[in-house]
């Protein structure tokens, strides 16, 4: 059989091209599947909202309906997306994989987010004091403090549901299909479109929601978890209502202890809709992006830096050098080992001489 190196090279090239095309086809199918899972996640979100709303209305009174609705929505989203991750993507721990891992320092990440959200609210409120001020009224009734705790729980559940819906399973599926940059832009738009359905919203509230969605998505991508974005979302909304008594998305009923009435231009205060309809808040949220990148440098390195794994094959450099030398110079015979002979040590000359002299002296005396 004649050896043809050209044919071997052609077969190797065809095999490599076939493998590359197979990998590309598999990656394309994986992206299509991820996109379909994203669409399923969006549809499930709206279904869960309807179920939570109807369930809260039928189970509790009107006063407790908002808190119950947000608790049911967060539960339905968490369980539903976990089931999708388990059955569709074979995730071993779907709750952690959708952004809620109980890793070391997760409470610190959430606290950092709360502090950041509070700081952004404070930056937006301080100019109001200089422009026109805020008329504040307090309630000293004991029942108001109980409702304050309930409203804090409402905002915590509201922020958790939003993060699961807009930065959880659906966001991850879309990022796998089209990349993280496209997912950040599309989900910011998606979040703004959902927020504009709120009664009283306008074009300004749309762009503010767009900026907030960008900020929260970046917070997730920098940490690969929802703890920081959840804390930031909660701190932004709860600080406005519970600390300063301002309306949040046009609702001013979530501040039982403090009621605030801002006096100033609409571009600064947002009017009755709150900071979510103020142009000044839009620029503050955009300016917070580099600040967020700075405070998450350590977390970004910890959870986004590529893991370096050893590769290749082991190489014996000495054996390779020896083979190269033998190929050029020929095989060298091993050198004959030198024989070492070990003989008995002779007696020192002085001791032999002293022995002879001794014998001679003795004979003479005899």
State the number of CA atoms in the 13 A half-sphere of 283 facing the CB.
6
Over its C-alpha atoms, the chain yields an Rg (Å, rounded) of 39
pLDDT score at 255: 81
Whether 3 is in a domain gets the answer no
Structural tokens at position 94: 């779907």
First to last CA, the chain: 105
- How confident is the model at residue 237, as a pLDDT? 96
Res 139: pLDDT: 80
Domain count, the chain: 1
| Inside any domain, residue 52 | no
Dihedral pair phi/psi, residue 331, rounded to 5°: -70, 135
Q: Are 213 and 188 in contact (CB under 8 A)?
A: yes
Using alpha carbons only, what angle is made at residue 167 by residues 228 and 71, rounded to the nearest 5 degrees? 80
Residue 332 has a pLDDT of 59
Please check whether residue 182 lies inside any domain of the structure.
yes
Q: What is the pLDDT of residue 254?
A: 82
- The per-residue pLDDT for 131 is 84
| pLDDT for position 334 | 56
For residue 296, count other CB atoms closer than 10 A to its CB.
22
HSE-up (13 A, CA, CB side) for residue 235: 22
Has residue 7 been placed in a domain? no
Half-sphere exposure at residue 140, Cβ-oriented, CA atoms within 13 angstroms: 0
Rounded Cα distance between 114 and 294, Å, is 16
User: Is 168 domain-assigned?
Assistant: yes
Taking the chain (366 residues) in runs of 10, the rounded mean pLDDT of each run is 47 47 63 94 97 95 93 97 94 93 95 97 93 82 84 96 96 95 96 94 96 97 97 97 92 86 92 94 97 96 78 64 69 57 55 45 42
354 in a structural domain: no
pLDDT of residue 144: 80
Angle between the N-to-C axes of helices 279-295 and 297-304, in degrees from 0 to 180, rounded to the nearest 10: 60
Does some domain include residue 232?
yes
191: containing domain: 107-303
Residue 197 belongs to some domain of the structure: yes
Residue 229 is predicted with a pLDDT of: 97
């Amino acid at each position: 059989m004649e050896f043809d190196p050209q044919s071997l090279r052609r077969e190797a090239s065809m095999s490599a091209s076939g493998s590359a095309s197979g990998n590309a086809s598999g990656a394309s199918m994986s992206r299509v599947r991820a996109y379909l899972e994203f669409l399923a996640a969006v549809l499930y979100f709206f279904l869960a909202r309807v179920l939570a709303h109807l369930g809260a209305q039928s189970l509790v009174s009107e006063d407790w309906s908002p808190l119950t609705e947000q608790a049911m929505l967060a539960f339905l989203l968490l369980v539903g997306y976990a089931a999708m991750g388990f059955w569709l993507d074979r995730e071993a721990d779907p709750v952690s994989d959708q952004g809620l891992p109980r890793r070391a320092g997760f409470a610190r990440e959430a606290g950092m987010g709360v502090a950041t959200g509070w700081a952004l609210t404070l930056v937006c409120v301080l100019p109001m004091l200089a422009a026109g001020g805020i008329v504040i009224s307090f309630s000293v009734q004991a029942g108001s403090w109980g409702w304050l705790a309930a409203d804090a729980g409402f905002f915590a559940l509201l922020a958790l549901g939003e993060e699961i819906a807009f930065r959880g399973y659906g966001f991850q599926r879309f990022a796998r299909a089209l990349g993280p940059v496209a997912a950040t832009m599309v989900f910011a738009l998606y979040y703004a479109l959902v927020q504009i359905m709120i009664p009283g919203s306008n074009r300004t509230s749309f762009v503010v929601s767009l900026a907030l969605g960008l900020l929260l998505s970046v917070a997730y991508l920098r940490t690969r978890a929802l703890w920081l974005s959840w804390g930031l979302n909660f701190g932004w909304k709860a600080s406005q209502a519970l600390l300063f008594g301002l309306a949040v998305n046009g609702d001013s009923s979530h501040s039982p202890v403090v009621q605030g009435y801002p006096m100033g231009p609409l571009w600064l205060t947002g009017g009755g809709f709150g900071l979510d309809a103020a142009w000044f808040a839009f620029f503050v949220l955009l300016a917070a992006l580099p600040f967020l990148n700075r405070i998450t440098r350590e977390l970004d390195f910890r959870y986004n830096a590529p893991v370096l794994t050893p590769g290749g094959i082991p190489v014996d450099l000495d054996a390779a050098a020896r083979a190269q030398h033998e190929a050029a110079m020929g095989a060298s015979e091993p050198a004959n080992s030198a024989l070492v002979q070990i003989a008995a040590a002779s007696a020192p000359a002085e001791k032999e001489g002293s022995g002879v002299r001794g014998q001679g002296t003795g004979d003479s005396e005899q």
